[in-house]
Amino acid sequence: MAEVVETESKKYPKALKEALKNLVASSGPKNLYYKGNWSDEIFQNCLAVVGSRHLTHYGRQATERIVTECAMAGITIVSGFMYGGDEAAHSAAVKCGGKTIAVMPCGIDLIFPPSQKDLYNKILKTGLVISEYPPGFKPVNYSFVQRDRIVAGLCKATLVTEAALESGSLITAGYAKKYNRKVFAIPGPITSEVSKGTIKLIKEGAEAVTCAKDILDFFGILPSSAPASALRASAGKPAEGVAAFPLESAPEPADGLVLQ
């Protein structure tokens, strides 16, 4: 069953409320519908992790390595639940027992993409699924962009793992800049289309990230004391029930939705 937090509520995330001061008053989400474990703690140290829907093997490995270490150190991973970069970030956090928040482009009673039903249910065990849209609302083009302003607004920093020049991940990074929040980017090969966006961000002032310590230092958090073997085990294959799509065969968004 969906619960709702209104803008005036003391439960409304402080980071998001502060971020929305940089937008036209009417453009901020009035309500946040949610399922899962809402607490002040989960919003305390949030990192947005977004990346290309056409995630490469390199992008997945880099995402898993960095997200796993950040999540094990207590950082909440926030993303948009789409396949590719979003899914890799959520999956890595779930696999190591960390906290993650999925911001949906639809009502939280719908699962989009429907192929990620197992991941959706795993997120609910320790994290949150939230949306500004009421139950039953189906995703449309504009709702994906609207979701991005919440992803960035909840977080102290945004990490872009891979992105083409026209990637929606750059929209999220743009909101982070507008909110005066930190932007990180993972450098990639100059021959890759999905590295052009991250290289552009770095040229514009984003901090290049090569390890989780770069991000942990910004948050002022020490790395997890878990042994290296545990970190390697967590940063492995995608979460059960999630497909890893290679660049050349990445599917278009499905029309179907799963009702949860």
Query: For the chain, what are the domain ranges?
Result: 32-222
Task: Give the chain's mean pLDDT.
Answer: 88
Beta bridge partners of 32: 5
For strands 128-131 and 100-103, give the pairing: parallel
Rounded Cα–Cα distance for residues 143 and 251 (Å): 20
**Residue 252 confidence (pLDDT) above 90:** no
Beta bridge partners of 78: 48, 101
**Residue 240 confidence (pLDDT) above 50:** no
Looking at domain 32-222, its CATH architecture is 3-Layer(aba) Sandwich (3.40)
For strands 157-160 and 128-131, give the pairing: unpaired
Q: Give the H/E segment covering residue 3.
A: strand 3-6
Span 32-49, mean pLDDT? 97
Rounded Cα–Cα distance for residues 75 and 52 (Å): 22
Rounded Cα–Cα distance for residues 147 and 134 (Å): 13
pLDDT band at 71 (very low <50, low <70, confident <90, very high): very high
Instruction: Please answer whether residues 158 and 184 qualify as being in contact, where contact means their C-beta atoms are separated by less than 8 angstroms.
Output: yes
Rounded Cα–Cα distance for residues 170 and 53 (Å): 12
pTM of structure: 0.87
pLDDT at residue number 18: 94
Residues with Cβ < 8 Å from 160, sequence gap 6 or more? 50, 51, 169, 170, 172, 173, 183, 184, 185, 186, 197, 198, 201, 206
Residues with Cβ < 8 Å from 28, sequence gap 6 or more? 7, 20
